[in-house]
Structure 1
Amino acid sequence: MKYVLILGDGMADYPVPQLNNKTPLQYAKKPNIDFLAKNAEVGMVKTVPDDLSPGSDVANLSVMGFDPKKYYTGRSPLEAVSMGLELSDTDVALRCNLVTLSDEEDYSNKTMIDYSSDEISSAEAKELIEAVNASFKNDNFCFYPGISYRHCLIWSNGLTGLKLTPPHDISGKKIADYLPKGENNKPLLDMMVKSYDILKDHPVNKARIAKGLRPANSIWLWGEGKRPSLPRFDEKYGIKGSVISAVDLIKGIGILAGLKNIEVEGATGNIHTNFLGKAQAALKELESGQDFVYLHVEAPDECGHRNEIENKVKSIELIDEQIVGTLLKGLEKYDDYRIMILPDHPTPLSLMTHTSEPVPFLMYQKSRPKDTGVESYSEEQAKTTGVYFAEGYKLMDYFLKG
């Protein structure tokens, strides 16, 4: 038996007036996914416990079969692991975004213009993070460059429980109410404030402005945590697996769980990612002897955060055509296989951030098609079946073990 889980990050949504009051999943043309839905078990699953924030970290831990109440220690250590950083028991990792802030003189009066600095290139970002590190590196703090706008700060003997705000939650808002507060956060706030003066006139940003691109003129620190300890996926489920994602967070969860991390050329984490290459890589992994592939696509989430209605629909259609369509053809040679498709959480276009509501899933098996009366894959159709998993981490057990 071969197993493929396709996770469209943030695909679930609310009805959108510009889409005839349909959700992007309802509006998108997705014949392959809808074919599966008509022949699959379909239902709803709550991936985010009520007492945890609806981050992709919590939700993907849940989808991958790990109870986030037990294993979640913070977002950034998962990303740090993916970047190859070694964390001691006393190290705290923090996500460091390169963001675009407005140009008011007082830092606290600035507005969050863009949490991704126009999705700055990794090469440009590396220069900026190196400049930040040259100014702030000491026995306690060290910055490490990552991909695009996503980077890492390691704080030796650092603190947790800091109540830091993700920058994608405050797009278009004044940052004053969301800055790090309290004595424990003072070193972090000081670096954020000083980073503006370091970055605003950096040659990389001058060149970006000349090209009509937004400058990455500040760092933004959030998502702190310590290294978690996860059970190995192969020991938990008795199968060998791989993870395919452009996002360090997902790679980190996979690595900690003992899954093989697969790099795909052109995988960017946005609407321009290599959809087809991800599907081809998944098939290659299965052909090489792997039993399970966790294929993660970030694009719908990024479009939700940026209120890009057309692109969110387009990202779902590309997942259907280039990923699901390719996989269905490639998997046909196997006697049996199972596919599961779901989001990790909703990222409503109207809110431009994550929410905790249950999300729709479909679970298809080649040898055991089911007729549950569902005509297409969407939030509303999934609710009609009455199938509901209140604890999201139990869905993986059901998928793999039946």
Structure 2
Amino acid sequence: MKYVLVIPDGCADEPQETLGGKTPLQAAQVSHMDAIVSQGILGRTDTVPASMPSGSDVGTMSLFGYDPLTYHTGRAPLEAAAQGIELGAHDWAIRCNFVTIAEGNMASFTASQLPNDVGEELVGLLQEETADDLQWEFHQGVSYRNLLIYRGQSGDDPPFDSGTLTVPPHDLTDQPIQHDLPSGRGSELMLDLMERSKKLFSKSSKNQNRSDKQPAATQIWLWGQGSRPALKPFHEQFGKTGAVITAVDLLRGLGRLLGWEVIEVEGATGYTDTDYAAKGRAAMETLKKTDFVVVHVEATDEASHEGEVQEKIKALEMIDEHIVGPVHDYLKKQGEYRFLVCPDHPTFLRTKTHSHGYVPFGICGTHVRPDQATSYDEVAAGKSNLLLPKGHQLMPFFFGTLTN
């Protein structure tokens, strides 16, 4: 049996006035996703516990069958794993975004998609600034996404704890930052580094010489802190080998921690210009050697963060045409299979932020008895009697004996 999960990140949304009261999923032409439902079942699940902040770190952990209330320690440790950064028992990882703050507002949580060469110069300046403090390590990622590692010592009190509060910068788009700065234990360390970064960034010639349409990064934004997680390997948990196709470090890291193969795809960007067809081809090739393949696409989430409804619809249609359709056709020719489509969380165009709430899932394949649903969207899923209140219930349900 072969298994595939396609994650259109953050695709679940609200009805839009500009779409005549339809959600983007309803407005998009997604005939292959609809076929998954028509040939199988439609339900809904809640991937993000109400007590936790909504994000892909929590949502995808749920989707992969691990209760985030038990296993989640923070987003940054997962991304550290993606970069091959080992965390000791006393270490902490922190997400370090390069952002643009204008008049006290989060003008751009990506610093206008900061180029890698500019990011390299900025990381160098940050590391030089903290060279005398051996506990801090800055690690360059891709574009605006970077990491800060705190190396703790045995016997020392940890600098952070569960009461350390930070806010993802993408949840503050076009909003004031004043009331969402780091707070709680260790926040003074973060705030000090964030303040020091302002002067450093003003000294970077590459950063300051960007065009008016791409304003400079003004500082770092620290968030998503966490210690090393203890995850049981996926093969031990579910008896399946796995692989993940993604352009996002978070998913790469989680995959590595679960013992999956991480498939790198040329042209996969983590943005709306990603090579959808290349991801579809990679999925089919990977299925030849692996039981379970996850294809994650960030484009739908990015479109929501930017409030671009038509870009979100376009991304959905590209996922449907170039990934869901071809991979489903391939599976049907190979023998026994199951196919699952489900986002990791809702991301609302209205707020440009991740949200809590149920997301729709569709499953078809071997031993899946079709229900009466015919379309894959939030409204149709809301009418379904198939309800999994906890997101981590979905993976054992997907692998189990389905008789719905």
Aligned to 1:265: 266
Q: TM-score, normalised by structure 1?
A: 0.95
Tell me if structure 2 keeps the 8 A contact 1:94–1:223: yes
Aligned to 2:377: 378
Q: By how many angstroms is 1:186 displaced? A: 1.3
For 1:309 and 1:136, locate their aligned partners in 2 and report how far apart those are by CA, in whole Å.
42
Q: By how many angstroms is 1:263 displaced? A: 0.8
Tell me if structure 1 keeps the 8 A contact 2:41–2:373: no
Aligned to 1:107: none
Aligned to 2:138: 143
Tell me if structure 2 keeps the 8 A contact 1:101–1:114: yes
Tell me if structure 2 keeps the 8 A contact 1:75–1:223: yes
For 1:87 and 1:368, locate their aligned partners in 2 and report how far apart those are by CA, in whole Å.
42
Q: By how many angstroms is 1:191 displaced? A: 1.1
Per-residue displacement from partner, 1:11-37 (whole Å, max 9, x unpaired)? 000011111111100000111111111
Give 4+ residue runs of structure 1 displaced > 6 Å after superposition.
none
For 2:2 and 2:216, locate their aligned partners in 1 and report how far apart those are by CA, in whole Å.
45
Aligned to 2:392: 393
Q: By how many angstroms is 1:227 displaced? A: 0.8
Q: By how many angstroms is 1:328 displaced? A: 2.2
State percent identity of aligned pairs.
39
Tell me if structure 1 keeps the 8 A contact 2:245–2:262: yes
Aligned to 1:187: 189
Determine if the alignment matches structure 1 residue 90 to structure 2 residue 90: yes
For 2:346 and 2:51, locate their aligned partners in 1 and report how far apart those are by CA, in whole Å.
17
Tell me if structure 2 keeps the 8 A contact 1:266–1:274: yes
For 1:94 and 1:184, locate their aligned partners in 2 and report how far apart those are by CA, in whole Å.
12
Aligned to 1:67: 67
For 1:9 and 1:221, locate their aligned partners in 2 and report how far apart those are by CA, in whole Å.
23
Tell me if structure 2 keeps the 8 A contact 1:38–1:370: no
For 1:39 and 1:330, locate their aligned partners in 2 and report how far apart those are by CA, in whole Å.
16
Aligned to 1:326: 326
What residue identity is the alignment partner of 2:382? Answer: K
Aligned to 1:79: 79
Determine if the alignment matches structure 1 residue 234 to structure 2 residue 229: no
For 1:156 and 1:114, locate their aligned partners in 2 and report how far apart those are by CA, in whole Å.
30
For 2:246 and 2:377, locate their aligned partners in 1 and report how far apart those are by CA, in whole Å.
23
Q: By how many angstroms is 1:213 displaced? A: 1.2
Aligned to 1:301: 301
Aligned to 1:207: 209
Q: By how many angstroms is 1:136 displaced? A: 2.1
Q: By how many angstroms is 1:264 displaced? A: 0.8
Q: 1:209 aligns to what SS in structure 2?
A: coil
- Given candidates 148, 168, 191, the residue that maps to 1:153 is 148
Q: 1:200 aligns to what SS in structure 2?
A: helix
Aligned to 1:222: 223
Determine if the alignment matches structure 1 residue 124 to structure 2 residue 118: yes
Q: 1:112 aligns to what SS in structure 2?
A: strand
For 1:401 and 1:36, locate their aligned partners in 2 and report how far apart those are by CA, in whole Å.
18
Paired positions, count: 393
Q: By how many angstroms is 1:201 displaced? A: 4.1
For 2:332 and 2:272, locate their aligned partners in 1 and report how far apart those are by CA, in whole Å.
28
Aligned to 2:285: 284
For 2:186 and 2:234, locate their aligned partners in 1 and report how far apart those are by CA, in whole Å.
36
For 1:280 and 1:296, locate their aligned partners in 2 and report how far apart those are by CA, in whole Å.
13
Tell me if structure 1 keeps the 8 A contact 2:7–2:341: yes
Q: RMSD of the alignment, in Å?
A: 1.4
Tell me if structure 2 keeps the 8 A contact 1:77–1:92: yes
Tell me if structure 2 keeps the 8 A contact 1:244–1:294: yes
Task: Assess, with a 3 A threshold, how the Cα gap between structure 1 residues 275 and 90 changes in structure 2: closer, same or farther.
Answer: same
Q: By how many angstroms is 1:284 displaced? A: 0.8
Per-residue displacement from partner, 1:261-297 (whole Å, max 9, x unpaired)? 111111111101111111111111111x211101111
Per mean C-alpha deviation after superposition, the further-off stretch among 200-209 and 232-241 is 200-209
Aligned to 1:39: 39
Q: 1:146 aligns to what SS in structure 2?
A: strand
Q: By how many angstroms is 1:369 displaced? A: 5.7
What residue identity is the alignment partner of 1:122? Answer: N
Aligned to 2:155: none
Tell me if structure 2 keeps the 8 A contact 1:343–1:359: yes
For 1:234 and 1:397, locate their aligned partners in 2 and report how far apart those are by CA, in whole Å.
13
Per-residue displacement from partner, 1:184-230 (whole Å, max 9, x unpaired)? 211211111121111134122233226x3121221000010001011
For 1:182 and 1:40, locate their aligned partners in 2 and report how far apart those are by CA, in whole Å.
47
What residue identity is the alignment partner of 1:388? Answer: L
Q: By how many angstroms is 1:182 displaced? A: 5.2
What residue identity is the alignment partner of 2:246? Answer: S
Q: 5+ residue gaps in structure 1?
A: 105-109
Q: 2:232 aligns to what SS in structure 1?
A: coil
What residue identity is the alignment partner of 1:317? Answer: E
Q: TM-score, normalised by structure 2?
A: 0.94
Aligned to 2:8: 8
For 1:277 and 1:188, locate their aligned partners in 2 and report how far apart those are by CA, in whole Å.
39
What residue identity is the alignment partner of 1:166? Answer: P
For 1:236 and 1:64, locate their aligned partners in 2 and report how far apart those are by CA, in whole Å.
10
Per-residue displacement from partner, 1:42-68 (whole Å, max 9, x unpaired)? 101111112211121111100000011
What residue identity is the alignment partner of 1:167? Answer: P
- Pairing of 1:361-376 with structure 2 (within 5 A): 361-365=361-365, 367-368=366-367, 370-376=369-375
Q: 5+ residue gaps in structure 2?
A: 153-158
Per mean C-alpha deviation after superposition, the further-off stretch among 2-11 and 272-281 is 272-281
